[in-house]
Amino acid sequence: MSRLSKRRNLELLSSIVKGRFGLEELCVEHRMNLEQLARWALQPSTARTLEGLRRLADIRTQMVISRYRAHAAARLIELTADGDMPETARKSCVDLLTTNVARDEEAEMSEVEFENALSVGELRELLVSEGSQTAEETDQGPGKEAV
């Protein structure tokens, strides 16, 4: 297969990023067969671009998950404190707190880091103690010390 024009290359990359097509539909849309698509993807410049796009997608996913972790932690504390804890809600919060989409080796946690990481229970205790400390500070007013 000869190299794609810059325009066709960008169109193909755009289709991949949008994710609307499976591989066969992608081939039909861009008038190529699976072998041509595979060879295109293996070209060094294309492979680097695809890897960069994959990393960006992973970063975006991690940022979205991170935004909702604080909410999940607060909700998990509420569910635990109320004693009214539907199992699916609890599991959803725990999943959100423990989900990690990092694929890069340097971004993944080592065994030692994993063993030293806070458990969900320890995280909950920390958040509850931080929450009560903040409430105490609020009750006392700014600059006042607890008696």
**Residues 29-76: tens digit of each pLDDT:** 999 999 999 999 999 999 999 999 999 988 888 888 888 877 777 777
Task: Note the pTM of the prediction, 2 decimals.
Answer: 0.52
Total number of domains constituting the chain: 1
Give the torsion through C-alpha atoms of 72, 119, 82, 94, to 10 deg: 40
Burial 18-52 (b: 16+ CB within 10 A, else e): eeeeeeeebbeebebeeeebeebeeeeebeebbee
Return d(Cα 25, Cα 29) in angstroms, integer.
6
Does residue 91 lie in a domain region?
yes
Does residue 48 lie in a domain region?
no
* Domain range enclosing 85: 68-140
Return d(Cα 30, Cα 26) in angstroms, integer.
6
Does residue 50 lie in a domain region?
no
